[in-house]
Chains A and B, each alone.
Chain A
């Protein structure tokens, strides 16, 4: 066998261009299945892992997938919102802890996640530098955001303008980077985390401006208990020590919008009670992330089945192509084969030799494809093409 391998290797390496082209053909055909397998496995693992550590989500009635993707992976937006008040009567403190989530805005393309400090403990997120967003206007960013935007504590990030030509829209908010999170390999690496109040200020629910009454020219209307300013009043787009006092909200924070609430029941009994209450609610819906992800993965695997069917056809076509190449090669090498037979090689030996040559090319092609797929998947995952 050693001699056969040596003879086969000598032939393959001598005709390196021919062998290389054939190996590349095989690599191109096998690359995609490898890449898809790796990415689907990663996709499945990442989705499932995050979902399984989130016991229960509460969001507005509507698309379950929107709620799931928005709350767990900060992708997309939910159409409808809920208020803390809606959940308060159901998810009571004696049964569970709730963590608010408000994901509506972005900063430099990265999602701004309005939440409470409990979120960082719940996700087991560690600080690499700085602090959590303890003050209004502070942002603690994920490792990926920090690396991509080259930000460090003390720098600033500005929320994205969403409605450029809407004069009534709120101004982008300049947020101070309070800290950077350690890499977690999850969607949190791409988040700009702020307090929910900061997120509401970005939405224009809360704001800060010059003291209207300090300049009579700024007063548009003055009534019983309220003063309305005109367009000359400067609205602050940064929360500093000097401007902090001026920021305020109109209305109670319990009525302000949230994307979702993460519900952490105290025990199984609490979980069952809370879930039952939520299920009977007319305005909110409970969502078990693990179940939601299973449904989502069913869609993914359905789509993959079509891909696999196509792959069978491509593989069959490639096998026929390789068979043609082998047949032509045998014809071209007829004289060499006759020489080997004259010297004393058996036909089995010749078949074995040609098979080993083909195997070498196939193995090289497959290894090349697997390496390429691993590299491409690594880049795709690192570039956050999935999350």
Chain B
């Protein structure tokens, strides 16, 4: 039992009576109940603008709900201050974005280690883990390169490594294969699922590609939730 929440720790994500609105927008996301158990791989599908990315941001603590309760890795996000949510995001959550979001002025190595640079509380880099991670994902040869000199697939591998380098319990991936060709999509998905399984992490991935959902343990269809109108196009705050 988690002392902070009373939830069992075999629940990675627990959402109850969630209600979220963007200020000045008619969009409203309402999720009565959503549970994802630890070590599971969940795919979130749904039409564009249905709030999939918004949910990921809510789970990551980047956005705060108007009502309801979100519990991630045993922590009730609404009960802790922003600094604690940020720390949780740094230490326990790994984020993978559709556009990779790599910093062009940093080398591949520095991009992967960016969380450690931003948060001294993460402590020292586990070099053995870093080495193993980059080797398995096949980017150990490009560590000193700039991201712009890599292919799309290689860039996404770097982004996956950045999400996993802190050995998080939860990976939130927002259409990580959205911009990739089918062959690269398959490779990236293999890499990501493989790494998630090796790390015993939980994966929550937004995807439009229905052909991928058979690789997941559970599928969350946003069509089931009440969405009063479309979320802003970028679905970002």
Contacts and interface: CB of A to CB of B under 8 A. Distances in A.
Contacts of B186: none
Interface string A5-23: 0110011011100000000
B118 interface: yes
B105 A14 contact: yes
B81 to A, nearest CB: 12
Secondary structure at the B interface, as helix, strand, loop or mixed, is: helix
A346 B105 contact: no
B103 A336 contact: yes
Given A3-B118, A6-B117, A343 B105 contact: no
A7 B117 contact: yes
Contact of B101 (A4, A339, A344, A346): A339
Interface in A324-366: 335-336, 338-346, 349
B90 interface: yes
B104 A343 contact: no
Contacts, number: 53
Size class of the contact patch on chain B: 20 to 34
Contacts of B106: 7, 10
Contacts of A336: 103
A346 B84 CA distance: 11
A350 to B, nearest CB: 9
B89 A343 contact: yes
A341 B105 contact: no
Contacts of B103: 336, 339
Nearest to A335: B101
B60 A345 contact: no
Interface residues of A, number: 21
Contacts of A11: 105
Contacts of B86: 344-346
Query: Taking each of B97, B104, B105, which has the highest tally of chain A beta carbons within 10 Å of its own beta carbon?
Result: B105
B195 interface: no
Contact of A342 (B95, B105, B110, B119): B95
Nearest to B105: A14
B236 interface: yes
B65 interface: no
Contacts of A341: 62
Nearest to B172: A342
A337 to B, nearest CB: 11
A345 B118 contact: yes
B120 A343 contact: no
B113 to A, nearest CB: 9
A118 to B, nearest CB: 70
**Best-surrounded residue of A3, A341, A344, A349 (most CB of chain B within 10 A):** A344
Contacts of B162: 343
A343 B236 contact: no
Interface of A: 3-4, 6-7, 10-11, 13-15, 335-336, 338-346, 349
27 contacts: A3-B117, A3-B118, A3-B120, A6-B117, A7-B106, A7-B117, A10-B110, A13-B105, A14-B104, A14-B105, A15-B105, A339-B103, A340-B114, A340-B118, A341-B62, A342-B97, A342-B101, A343-B95, A343-B114, A343-B118, A344-B86, A344-B87, A344-B89, A344-B90, A344-B118, A346-B86, A349-B118
The 6 nearest A-B residue pairs measured at CB: A14-B105, A344-B90, A3-B117, A339-B101, A345-B118, A344-B89
Given A340-B114, A341-B62, 7 more contacts: A10-B110, A11-B105, A13-B105, A342-B95, A343-B95, A343-B162, A344-B115
